[in-house]
């Protein structure tokens, strides 16, 4: 349930697209807090803020932040429009929560793209790379642009992790390198809003004119340590959606020799479950050359059962390390940097390189 705190803004710290970091004094002492101005307004020093500190207290994946729920003494102005029509959109995201946001869906009646998407039935063979974790996004993008620097790459953010796209500093740093972001399901805050992965893929292709799309959840990952209890299960469903819409599915493998948990060493059970049990259609699964021998052996053994359903594609990795080191945003997964889990980032970059190779 929600753990509430009331506090006073002492200072406004750094900000990025859609979010601002605050220093807040509370009865528990000073806290770092995060506010989304589009939801709650723009806090200023001296403002009283209501905070949700539940995940922070438990040490869960909120980046160490309390989250601002409201500025109760200085409410933001109503959005433009009379609020009684659907002219400004009627997609409700984070539905039936106190901070449900009403957004303009890319394919609804008031959208300028309504006719385009109403007529769209296919993504025209577009390569779509699916990944378990948000941290794979910049590495996949680096792999695409290593060989095809002019390729237009879109990001489709699913709702398994963070719901506001604004939470991601990675996305903020990649804004000049992506064709755009589509937030789907309950996620919101992208350049385009879509209700489903299917609509999101069509929007990436026909509105953002993407050559390649990357599908991954927002920052954070829900997992219980059981076979089926993790948000990345949705990857398999994304593979199915890509195939239904006439795209080319490419599954980025979650490979690691830096993760201390046995279930994630070699090929993570997340990848093996999503691609091996949930995906019902064949996908390309790029396997990077150049892995350390012990890790390579673990990977080959884990992937052998998937070879009957999917296409295992060996990908040369020359130049990918340099592309990863030139990435415009810091690379980090579960607190591990590039050199602490090189295989993870190399596998993601290899998936991007393979997607680039599928382009005309």
Residue 337 makes CB contacts below 8 A (sequence gap 6+) with 330, 331
Rounded distance between C-alpha atoms, residue 197 and residue 241, angstroms: 7
Place of tokens 């589509």: 182
| pLDDT < 70 stretches in the chain | 61-62, 82, 260, 262-263
What is the pLDDT at residue 220? 84
Residues 6+ apart with CB under 8 A from 18: 36, 37, 38, 164, 165, 166, 172, 189
Q: What is the spatial distance between Cα 336 and Cα 334, in angstroms, rounded to a whole number?
A: 6
H or E segment and range at residue 180: strand 180-183
**How many angstroms separate the CA atoms of 343 and 347, rounded?**
6
Structure tokens that stand for 316 in this block? 């040369």
CA separation for the pair 141, 154 (Å, rounded): 9
Question: Which tens digits make up the pLDDT trace of 243-282?
Answer: 999 999 999 999 988 776 766 777 888 899 999 999 999 9
Output 220-226 pairs: Cβ under 8 A, ≥24 positions apart.
Answer: 220/61, 220/62, 220/134, 220/161, 220/162, 221/61, 221/132, 221/133, 221/134, 221/160, 221/161, 222/160, 222/161, 223/270, 225/263
Backbone angles phi, psi at 227, to 5 degrees: -55, -45
Structure tokens at 319: 């130049």
Burial class (CB in 10 A: 0-12, 13-18, 19+), 130: buried
| Integer Cα distance of 215 and 309 in angstroms | 21
């Amino acid at each position: 349930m929600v753990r509430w705190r009331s506090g006073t803004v002492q200072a406004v710290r750094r900000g990025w697209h859609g979010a601002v970091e605050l220093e807040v004094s509370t009865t528990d002492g000073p806290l770092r807090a995060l506010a989304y101005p589009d939801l709650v307004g723009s806090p200023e020093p001296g403002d009283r803020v209501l905070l949700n500190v539940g995940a922070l207290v438990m040490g869960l994946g909120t980046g160490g932040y309390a989250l601002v729920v409201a500025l109760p003494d200085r409410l933001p102005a109503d959005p433009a429009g009379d609020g009684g029509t659907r002219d400004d959109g009627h997609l409700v995201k984070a539905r039936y929560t106190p901070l449900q946001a009403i957004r303009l869906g890319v394919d609804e009646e008031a959208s300028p793209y309504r006719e385009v998407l109403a007529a769209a039935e296919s993504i025209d063979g577009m390569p779509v790379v699916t990944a378990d974790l948000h941290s794979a996004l910049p590495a996949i993008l680096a792999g695409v642009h290593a060989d095809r620097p002019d390729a237009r790459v879109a990001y489709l953010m699913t709702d398994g992790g963070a719901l506001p796209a604004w939470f991601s500093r990675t996305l903020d740093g990649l804004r000049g390198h992506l064709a755009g972001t589509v937030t789907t399901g309950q996620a919101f805050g992208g350049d385009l809003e879509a209700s489903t992965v299917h609509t999101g893929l069509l929007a990436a292709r026909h509105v953002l004119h993407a050559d390649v799309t990357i599908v991954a959840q927002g920052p954070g990952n829900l997992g219980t340590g059981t076979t089926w209890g993790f948000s990345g299960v949705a990857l398999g469903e994304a593979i199915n959606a890509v195939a239904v819409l006439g795209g080319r599915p490419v599954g980025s493998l979650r490979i690691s020799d830096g993760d201390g948990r046995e279930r994630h060493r070699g090929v993570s059970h997340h990848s093996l479950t999503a691609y091996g049990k949930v995906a019902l259609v064949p996908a390309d699964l790029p396997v990077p050359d150049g892995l350390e021998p012990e890790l390579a052996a673990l990977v080959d053994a884990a992937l052998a059962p998937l070879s009957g359903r999917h296409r295992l594609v060996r990908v040369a990795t020359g130049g990918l390390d340099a592309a990863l080191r030139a990435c415009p945003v810091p690379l980090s997964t579960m607190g591990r940097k590039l050199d602490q889990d090189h295989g993870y980032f190399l596998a993601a970059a290899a998936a991007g390189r393979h997607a680039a190779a599928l382009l005309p």
